Amino acid sequence: MNINHKVKIDIVAVAKAAGVSISTVSRSFNHPDLVKAPTRKKIERAVQKLGYIRNRAAQVMHGRRSGTIGLIVPTIDHAIFAEVTQAFSDAMDEAGFTILIASHGFDLEKEYLRLRKLLEHRVDGIALIGLDHSESTYQLLEQQRIPTVAIWNFDSTSKISCIGADNFEAGRMAARHLLSLGHRDIGLIFPDTTENDRARNRLMGARSELSGAGIHVPEGWQIVSPYRISMAKDACKSMLRKPARPTALLCGNDIIAQGAVYGAMQLHLSVPQDVSIMGIGDFKGSSEMEPGLSTIRIPAKKIGRLAGKRIVKEVTGESTQLSRQRCELKLMTRSTTRARLTIST
């Protein structure tokens, strides 16, 4: 195929190929609802035939929106944020926006640098995960006065719009379920919570519920594990190998809980007969695994969809007020938890 790299296809060429005016082509891009469907189709065919690409940078220079939203997530390495990202992306697509995704590896200083890069690309809005961000990040968002929404964590005192779950309550609900089954010897496996408000709030909620029931968790039964199945499996095994072991494990999310299930099985312990295991999140696959994982459902798709709609409202100026929306949690009782067996004498 012979490609002439010197030929630049512009809006004039598109208008000529479609047999319409330049202003009609421009209107079909920016206000498609004002252009008749047959005309839009002619323009779309011309765009496809010529390989025309709109110059968004030029639009931004003239004060128009870029049509892009920046989304910064801690990781794209596994399923934790897959559903919420997809739902957010779908909402953006429906509104005619495109997302630019960046990840920071749970490092808030890197998050600040990713934010600067996205702002250099003149995105119209920013979506972040959670409400733990550096002061530099919050300052930059305020200085730029850019529409911003935090996804996944709800806080009634948030400085930016937030749509998510009450993670403190998620931790309480998970602990309450294990307590209701008669468990008193409960181990905790959570990630490092230093720069992760979701995990920190869940851990605080779990400890609050256990403390309220008069339960003290020994130091050896509180283990830190990253969101990786292999490392969670090792963490679980190190706890369950001890002579005195818990009858139940409460995990910071479903990824850790899945690893804990595999770790227990590798030690030839039966789940839930020998040890009950509880997750938080209800990620894709948690219900299909064997045994099915008991967990607290955080409605990721709903959160992503609502966050997408919210950022669009702020970008288009439809709403300028802060929005703090809390999505309901749900206990999902499956096969990894059961009532603690009591031995009668």
Quote the pLDDT of residue 7. Answer: 56
Quote the pLDDT of residue 10. Answer: 81
Which residues are 210's β-sheet partners? none
Quote the pLDDT of residue 8. Answer: 64
Reported residue count of the chain is 345
CATH of 167-297, one of 2.60.40.10, 3.40.50.2300, 1.10.10.410, 2.60.40.290: 3.40.50.2300
In this prediction the pTM is: 0.82
Whether 263 contacts 240, CB under 8 Å: yes
- Segments of the chain assigned to CATH 1.10.260.40: 11-54
What DSSP assignment string belongs to 224-260? E--S-HHHHHHHHHHHHTSSS--SEEEESSHHHHHHH
Q: What six digits make up the tokens of 77?
A: 């390495």
Place of tokens 């953006």: 92
- Which segments within 263-323 are labelled E, that is strand? 276-278, 295-297
- Classified as helix, coil or strand, 195 is coil
Whether 324 contacts 158, CB under 8 Å: yes
- Classified as helix, coil or strand, 79 is helix
Residue-wise pLDDT tens for the chain (345 aa)? Answer: 444 445 567 888 889 999 999 888 888 887 788 899 999 999 999 888 888 877 655 555 445 567 899 999 998 877 788 899 999 999 999 988 999 999 999 999 999 999 999 998 889 999 999 999 999 999 999 999 999 999 999 999 999 999 999 999 999 999 999 999 999 999 999 999 998 999 999 999 999 999 999 999 999 999 999 999 999 999 999 999 988 999 999 999 999 999 999 999 999 999 999 999 999 999 988 999 999 999 999 999 999 999 999 999 999 888 888 999 999 999 999 999 999 876 443
Mark out the alpha helices in 134-276 (DSSP H runs): 135-144, 167-180, 197-212, 229-240, 254-266
Whether 213 contacts 182, CB under 8 Å: no
Q: Residue 270, Cβ neighbours under 10 Å: how many?
A: 10
- Segments of the chain assigned to CATH 3.40.50.2300: 68-166+300-330, 167-297
Biggest distance spanned by C-alpha atoms of the chain:
92
Residue range 11-54, CATH number: 1.10.260.40
| Interatomic CA distance for residues 182 and 247, integer angstroms | 10
Quote the pLDDT of residue 64. Answer: 58
In CATH terms, the fold of domain 68-166+300-330 is Rossmann fold (3.40.50)
Whether 248 contacts 337, CB under 8 Å: yes
How many CA atoms, within 13 angstroms, populate the side-chain half-sphere of residue 219? Answer: 0
